[in-house]
Amino acid sequence: MEKVIVGISGGVDSAVSALLLKEQGYVVEGLFMRNWDSNINNDILGNPNDITDICPQEKDYNDAVKLCDILGIKLHRVDFIKEYWDYVFTYFLEELKKGHTPNPDMLCNKFIKFDLFIKKAEELGADYIATGHYAKLENGLLKRAKDVNKDQTYFLADVNKEMFRKVLFPLGDYTKPEVRKMALENNLNVASKKDSTGICFIGERNFQKFLANYLKPNPGDIVDVKSKKVIGTHEGLMNYTIGQRRHVGISGNLNRHYVCGKNVKENILYVAFGEDNEYLLSDECVIENVNFISPIRPTFCTAKFRYRDKDHAVNLTYLENGDIIVKYPEKVKSVTPGQACVLYLGSECLGCGFIKSVKKNNENLWYLQ
């Protein structure tokens, strides 16, 4: 019988994945990855601040232990703390310094879950690895999951296509309610556990307070883009993203101002007032560090510029340096440098690139001067 190592996170999705694979006749074992420890990472950084690790990883591990006991499978545990720091978190910090809005979950999938995890599973004699992602693999092609609301192909688009040869996604043909129901029917201890949120493996935290442990606050002016007047003070450009309306830091704001630009050189945060999205719209971007999972190289497809974004019709122009010009005839708001542009052709996820620059009406948007 073939052996599968399932990435057990302590949540319901990975639990039901293990359950399904066991029912399908595989030899199933679990592996819990511990990738974050504030105190250890603090030593690596040499930061003297006292950081309390509030990430509930130990609770997740205890849930994973109990789950595997219920399923009657062996559970392994591995630490990738330094690797997560080296390959994911340092990149995350460097991108924030540039004024970009990075996506650490995508890097975590690329370097940890679908690289180091696979190598560790091979050491344990696995034929395949499996995770609780909502996605499908068909003949080596990455396809959207049945549950369109939970589909996670966006976060998998930067994974090296060769890694998918040894991957199973048991939840691809199930909806989240169906997964919850299976967990309840099989008396799994995590059946009603709340889904995890926040940064991959770090968890849900006060973002500004968390970043202050790693990036020094760098206050600067908040400038109204129309009047050019200084109307407030920001706590550091890394704390804001294009399109943000809440917690902008303007007294009496009532969420009426939104972030529409950053000038990293002069440390200025630009905002606009009201419901007008004029300063957020663009019709073209350039993506770099492109990763294709599919052999298809279309000139027309659709793209998502954020995870919860809808599909936008786009035209692609391939440049000699490997970058791609992505044009979208119907303007899109808040296309943001550092974020992923994920490409689709129907149900197939083709791959992605990371947004390098953004244009509107053939002019570069100025917000990252």
Q: How many residues does the chain have?
A: 369
Q: Token pair 């129309």 is at which residue? A: 226
* C-alpha span between 130 and 223 (Å, rounded): 49
Give the 3-state DSSP-derived string for 36-62, with helices as H, strands as E and coil as C: CCHHHHHHHHCCCCCCCCCCCHHHHHH
DSSP state of 134: S
Parallel, antiparallel or unpaired: strands 340-345 and 300-304? antiparallel
Tell me how far apart the alpha carbons of residues 281 and 331 are, in angstroms, rounded to a whole number.
6
Separation of alpha carbons 165 and 184, rounded Å: 31
Active-site residue list? 108, 200
Distance CA 252, CA 341 (A): 35
Q: Which of 268, 265, 234 is nearest to 248 (CA)?
A: 234
Angle at CA of residue 341, ends 338 and 342, nearest 5°:
140
